[in-house]
Structure 1
Amino acid sequence: MTTTKDPQRDKGAESGDHDDEKGHLLYHEGLLLNGRYEVMSTLGKGAFGKVVKCLDRDKKEYVAVKIVRNIDCFSEVARSEIAVLEEINNLDDDNIFACVRMLDWFDHEGHVCIVFELLGLSTCEFLQQNNYLPFSLDQIRAMAFQLFRAVCFLHRNKLTHTDLKPENILLVSSDFNLEYNDNKQCREKKLKAIDVKVVDFGTATFDHERHESLVSTRHYRAPEVILDLGWNQSCDVWSLGCVLMEFYLGRTLFPTHDSQEHLAMMERVLGPIPSHLLQQTKKQHYVHNDRLKLEEDISRDKYIKKHCKPLKNYMYYSSDDERLLFDLLSLMLEYDVVRRITLEEALWHPFFSPVRAQKKQRS
């Protein structure tokens, strides 16, 4: 049986015998990496490679090791991520901010390997395993405060994450209790702790570095990125607004894979895109008479109306806390980056008053 090699594969790699045809390292339980990290199990995989749980024999503790595919472009991204993580470690020596900690990195048979502290499930995985039941307002507030502080720390140090999404927000611990409703049928997982950390700095970009025109995963992509208007740190604010809505709803705010439809969904939720932004866009095929061009597609129109509604209409109970959350979201999901709230400002929003009062009481 013959296998075809991935054309992207680094032809000069000497580790072909250790890899599969896609450039993933062939490993097994008990394999020792770098003479120190014993592979225990696979935690997850993605386009970049695989993440494995390892026992650090030196420190007698479990860690997560990201084993990057042996392909030039992925190795390059990994080395960029290492540079960012080293900078974060240096800037946050006391590990105050909720960014994942890199503990070590090394090369194994042509694979860049990055060692991280071992965390729990991603918030995306937890939602999936919890039947997409949304997080409570108190949980959203606690997670948002940690995330805003972490990403604000990045922004203060001239760094933009560019790919904030529930998959890249990990629970520090995913230990939970099982709870049943009144009819004892529906099971719900209640987290014991709600601490989170931001991960995946592979596409993080310093202010002075070249900004790729297309960043962020589709559902969390800011309008200025779609319209090719250039972007800055405020694209992270938009992404976090989408993430908080997903935590609140249990599903994505903009369920689409098409840019034109995405913009139409934004207008359904947030109102018309300002004409001055549409005048400036390089994507003029999205525009007609300084307004978003609407396709004459009845099925698409029905789909948008079915899945999207004005932002305030998503509120379940219109409680004071909910109104504060939605006021904050409206400031984050602002089309114009000049008017969009910064995370520094967002941390002082009244939605976070209970967290600030609690911190003051502790101190």
Structure 2
Amino acid sequence: MRKFKSDSKSGSFKKTQQPILDVSKWQSKDTSVQLESASFHNSSPIAADDGPKETQQRETRQNDDDGNLDYHIGLVLEDRYEISSTLGEGAFGKVVECIDRYRGQRVAVKIVKKFESFCKVARSEITVLEEINSLDDDNRFPCVRMLDWFKHKSHICIVLERLGPSTFNFLQQNDFVPFSVEQIRHIAFQIFRAVSFLHRNKLTHTDLKPENILFVSCDCDTECSQQTVKSSLKTPQLDFGTATFDHQHHETLVSTRHYRAPEVILDLGWNQSCDVWSLGCVLIEYYLGRTLFPSHDCGEHLAMMEKVLGPIPPRLLKQTRKKKFVKNERLSWNGSSSSEDDIEKHCQPLTQYMRTNNEEEKQLFDLLSCMLEYDVSRRITLEEALWHPFFCPLRRSNNWSNN
């Protein structure tokens, strides 16, 4: 195991009686909140819903020739899943809430557009979800279970657990008040376990971002900025629509822009470590309450990285096929004055973002620096990250080992 950049110990952490996922001044009725993964590819964040509203009973969705299924509230799919509301939609199709008449529970059904290209991605996603179910048949790791899948009028439908609001939605509902360091510790520990499980089984997620991470079900009251926000939290979800096995073809461009690793931008090839970079961007976003790299194009993105993390190593720039970004083995970017102003305004060296200089924040930023490492060969793995001193309190309290 590689050495961490800091040999700091866990400090004076005291065991807390708060729930695993607690938000500032938030008290949960569920003390066993877990993070899971699921598959709402490119969908809008899905808010928790207590059930169909009266007006939704009369709701009808018309087919506008965009490939979506023409359905209405009350429609029963496969003589089993009764559609009760629409949860969200995206490029892939739509997600609806259904009542499973066999089990008497609410589920989420992803209805994929009928186009063959979308069906091909859906079949790949089903393969991934089946593999996850098989590899973790005793549900030890926080990954969502695909409950069923079927084909309805040329549309592939994937039945998943009914999940709640994304971490992005949660921040948005609370005016982007950041999570505390302790909350980030609990959230990160669970996400790392889930994604590390994928990596051990030769899968790369490729699209980790706050919108794709949702909470496990619980009822809570959240007080932020002198306002009380009631939110029904459910599960974080990881979108498996773009998950890729090691042996499969690797698309050149992966990840949503703000969470895209430098090796992807520079077209150097990528592997599972691109997920580590994405999660580093996610954690700092939880800490700041805003995106670390609010870029609009690749050159600006790389320039922002250099402002936050220092110069990109010349040996990496030398290897890139994107020669327009390189001059004399240094990053070359001809941005507009407004873009340069944005970089100066929004970006600063990583450690300058620290709110305090206490031990737990030092550990968090040490972990972030290990994750946001340009060189893939030196970037920490998630297996290693779970043993970082930042997580020492959780390993002690849970008597945990990463098996």
TM-score between both structures, scaled by the size of structure 2: 0.81
Give 1:302's aligned residue: 341
Q: Deviations over 1:257-282 (max 9, x none)?
A: 20000000000000000000000000
Query: Counterpart amino acid of 1:73?
Result: S
Among candidates 211, 215, 231, match of residue 171 of structure 1: 215
Residue 366 of structure 2 is matched in structure 1 by 327
Which of 120, 124, 130 is the equivalent residue of 2:164?
120
- Corresponding residue number in structure 2 for 1:160: 204
SS of residue matched to 1:305: helix
* Change over 3 Å in CA distance of 1:105–1:180 after alignment to 2: closer
1:280 and 2:319 equivalent?
yes
**2:149 aligned to 105, 122, 128, which one?**
105
1:73-107 deviation line (CA, Å, top 9, x unaligned): 11111110000000000001011212221100001
Inter-partner Cα distance in structure 2 for 1:37 and 1:226: 42
How far has the Cα of 1:180 moved from its partner?
A: 5.8
Q: Against the structure 1 CA distance between its residues 189 and 351, is the aligned structure 2 distance closer, same or farther, given a 3 Å change threshold?
A: farther
Q: Where do 5+ consecutive residues of structure 1 fail to align?
A: 1-16
1:253 partner SS = coil
The runs of at least 4 consecutive aligned structure 1 residues that moved more than 6 Å come to: 190-193
Which residue of structure 1 aligns with residue 332 of structure 2? Answer: 293
Tell me the residue number matched to 2:386: 347
Q: 1:202 to 1:192 in 2, by over 3 A?
A: closer
Q: Deviations over 1:165-195 (max 9, x none)?
A: 11111111263204266xxxx31548787x7
- Partners of 2:359 and 2:336 in 1: how far apart? 39
In structure 2, relative to structure 1, the CA distance for the partners of 1:296 and 1:240 (3 Å cut) is: closer
1:204-239 Cα shifts (integer Å, max 9, x gaps): 111111111100010100000000000000000000
Greater RCO (Cα-Cα under 8 Å, separation 6 or more): 2
Per-residue deviation at 1:29?
1.2
**1:266 maps to which residue?**
305
Q: 1:31 aligns to what?
A: 75
> Counterpart in 2 of 1:150?
194
Q: 2:265 aligns with which of 202, 226, 234?
A: 226
Change (3 A) 1:296 1:234: closer
2:210 aligned with 1:207: no
User: Contact (CA 8 Å) 2:109, 2:157: kept in 1 or not?
Assistant: yes
Q: List aligned pairs for 1:175-254, cutoff 5 A.
A: 175-179=219-223, 186-189=226-229, 196-254=235-293
Cα separation, 2, equivalents of 1:179 and 1:26: 41
What letter corresponds to residue 137 of structure 1 in structure 2? V
Query: Aligned partners of 1:242 and 1:282: how far apart in 2?
Result: 25
Q: How does 1:51-90 map to 2 (within 5 A)?
A: 51-90=95-134
Measure, in 1, the Cα distance between the counterparts of 2:315 and 2:378: 13
Q: Does 1:48 pair with 2:87?
A: no
The TM-score normalised by the length of structure 1 is: 0.90
* Equivalenced residues, count: 341
Counterpart CA distance in 2 for 1:247 and 1:151 is: 18
Provide the residue aligned with 1:93 in structure 2: 137
> Does the CA-based 8 Å contact 1:150-1:198 persist in structure 2?
no
Q: SS of the residue aligned with 2:355? A: coil
Q: How far apart are the structure 2 equivalents of 1:351 and 1:190?
A: 30
Q: 1:283 to 1:188 in 2, by over 3 A?
A: farther
Relative to structure 1, the CA distance from residue 221 to residue 119 in structure 2 (aligned partners, 3 Å threshold; closer, same or farther) is same
Query: Contact 1:100 / 1:117 at 8 angstroms: preserved in 2?
Result: yes
1:165 counterpart letter in structure 2? K
Instruction: Indicate conservation of the 8 Å contact 2:77/2:152, yes or no.
Output: yes
Check the 8 A contact 2:167/2:236 in 1, yes or no: no
| Identity in percent | 65
Alpha-carbon deviation of 1:360? 1.5
**1:285-324: CA deviation from partner (whole Å, max 9, x where unpaired):** 0000000003263222111010111100111122211110
| Structure 2 residue runs without a partner (length 5+) | 1-60
Letter of the 1:306 counterpart: K
